[in-house]
A and B are shown apart, each in its own frame.
Chain A
């Protein structure tokens, strides 16, 4: 029980159980926790670095491993946490984005834009500059309109 929040929050956001053996689930968990942390929801305190699939935390992977197989327990969420989780869920479940990118690439797109904007590039970096870097590093995220939409949604999600 390294982080009791991981499994129930994952289920709440993606409406499915988390499976450690599934790469897509692990990637979605990484992006979910990263964005919740940045939104101010206290799901943990993980250090994220940039790798091939965007923001990634080794300590989070360790916690996922420790949690795998545990029962998904019910939690008595605070109203603030509930709101934060619902906001992220709405963004992740964007119908247009899911139909074009699929959930895995969409969560990767959102978290990567946030990381580039808030961690790597200065506050003066424009939307255009950030999306250019995204396109260069992640050629598979090749829909400009969707990337712009992701940028807007990230702006509305976090300060």
Chain B
């Protein structure tokens, strides 16, 4: 028996999306409906007014695309049910304003000192620049850690009895662990086929395909369009070191190139937009302060242990949506003394509520696209913006970066890995190299030929543009006025 769809919903990106009774039951839970109150692109709608779409419709889109991939791979319907469920639930642990509020939860180790705030923020820029010296990425398929929205989602799925029961009835008890592995990107458990994980966690996954198409469609840009049907039609599976790998055949190479290039543009043109970066930074700073003071926003421990691991009482968590953020700002604006909020937090809150942003330091934008890491590093370090503002008390430097692809050709990769093998792993050398190659193939876009069982990455294929474009990185530096001593008189700019 196949999958029995019982209803459908109209989506303006993919058309009708069909769903089963079990999926409908998930969609009807309050925990899932919560996603209707979390915008996919936080406050990007202030700049691209069409981007009003939410994590709710994105989740349905990911389920739809994940299933298209599963069908193309001719997976049995029992596997498809699990993959669809993982797609549907992959964002259930998302934070208010999506990545904006998640970001402070991922750097909650250190507090800023108010009187040297700009300097401390700018000093961290040096860390990013120094990272360019690291030869190549050696870690792939890195699992989400505690506090990441995917790990939060896995905790919810394991904890909420209603969701657990729906999944267990539909896909079996053992599918709970598998769905959590797919969501968090864990390929280490033998029971979880890494192919399923790759459908949601790789360079060409259902999540990326949906958000790229959806963000572009709602923003009104053309950067999200690519030959999706051709790409999916060309997906195949192969086996490497006993584990299944998601691949494209030769006919899909152009579509895969187009996908990666347009994804690169969607970051450079929409996600890293000057105004959006500025506004999101302001919001992040407020949340960072609130959660470190344990004021209005829950600390990570509070969120995980009291709001989620609560034997079914999710009342607090259900209100943890975009509106939670705006209400917190309003509280700060109305009663700053109640929360001992420093002036800069009060000011940032007021300004965001008034749709105002930090003033841009004219002429301070540096935008570099290059393959040469040393060249990027030198350009940044030699730039006026870096030299002038890195120790500035009144200006912050904001930094964005995006690689075209994380992968490098086999020869470069293997030489680097073998040359730098740590002494303590000498005895494990063979196992170590095998694991590195395996995870590299799982995360990257693999190409397979019809004639044999060999696979290689796109950047090793003579007919792929990635053979020329791998290693390209976009880096953006921008500076904004943020005088802590005289914030009230700072001339914020209206959006």
Contact = CB atoms under 8 A, between A and B. Distances in A.
Interface in B121-135: 126-127, 130-131, 133-134
A145 interface: no
Contacts of A45: 106, 142, 145
B249 to A, nearest CB: 29
A107 to B, nearest CB: 14
Residue among A38, A41, A49 with the most chain B CB within 10 A?
A49
A45 to B, nearest CB: 6
A61 B420 CA distance: 11
A47 B137 CA distance: 11
Given A38-B146, A40-B300, A81-B108, A50 B188 contact: yes
Contacts of B111: 76-78
Interface string B415-438: 000000011110110011001100
B238 interface: no
Interface in B270-292: 292
A136 interface: no
A1 B425 contact: no
A75 interface: yes
Contacts of B292: 78, 80
B138 A59 contact: yes
B469 interface: no
B164 to A, nearest CB: 11
A37 B106 CA distance: 10
A52 B435 contact: no
Interface residues of B, number: 53
Interface in A21-53: 23, 26-27, 37-43, 45-47, 49-53
Contacts of A142: none
Given A75-B110, A81-B109, A122-B177, A1 B126 contact: yes
A13 B422 CA distance: 24
Contact of B304 (A40, A49, A59, A61): A40
Given A40-B304, A78-B109, A119-B189, A51 B432 contact: yes
B439 to A, nearest CB: 8
A76 B109 CA distance: 8
Nearest to A63: B134
B interface majority secondary structure: loop
B33 interface: no
Interface string A57-93: 1110110001000000001111111010000000000
A109 B361 CA distance: 53
A56 interface: yes
Interface string B134-176: 1001111111011100000001001000000000000000101
B372 to A, nearest CB: 20
Contact of A39 (B133, B141, B146, B299): B146
A93 to B, nearest CB: 21
Nearest to A158: B146
Contacts of A79: 294
A100 interface: no
B108 A120 contact: no
B186 interface: yes
Interface string B435-476: 110010000000000000000000000000000000000000
A123 interface: yes
A122 B107 contact: no
Contacts of B304: 40, 159
A11 to B, nearest CB: 15
Contacts of B435: 49
Nearest to B300: A40
A40 B301 contact: yes
Nearest to A52: B428
Contacts of B127: 1-4
A51 B421 CA distance: 13
A121 interface: yes
B28 interface: no
A5 interface: yes
Contacts of A159: 155, 304-305, 309
B397 to A, nearest CB: 16
Contacts of A57: 139
Considering residues A62, A66, A123, which has the most beta carbons from chain B within 10 angstroms of its beta carbon?
A62
Contacts of A41: 109
Given A120-B188, A120-B189, A159-B305, A46 B108 contact: no
A77 B422 contact: no
A37 B427 contact: no
B189 A43 contact: no
A38 B439 CA distance: 21
B109 A47 contact: no
Contact of A2 (B130, B190, B424): B130
B418 to A, nearest CB: 12
Contacts of A37: 145-146
B315 interface: no
B186 A80 contact: no
A89 to B, nearest CB: 15
Contact of B186 (A2, A38, A81, A119): A119
B113 interface: yes
A58 B138 contact: yes
Given A2-B134, A49-B435, A53-B424, A58 B146 contact: no
Contacts of A61: 422
8 contacts: A40-B147, A47-B141, A52-B425, A58-B139, A75-B110, A80-B300, A122-B174, A123-B177
Smallest CB-CB A-B distances: 10 pairs = A47-B142, A40-B146, A47-B139, A81-B109, A42-B109, A119-B188, A58-B138, A51-B428, A76-B111, A59-B139
Given A47-B143, A49-B188, 4 more contacts: A37-B146, A43-B109, A120-B188, A122-B191
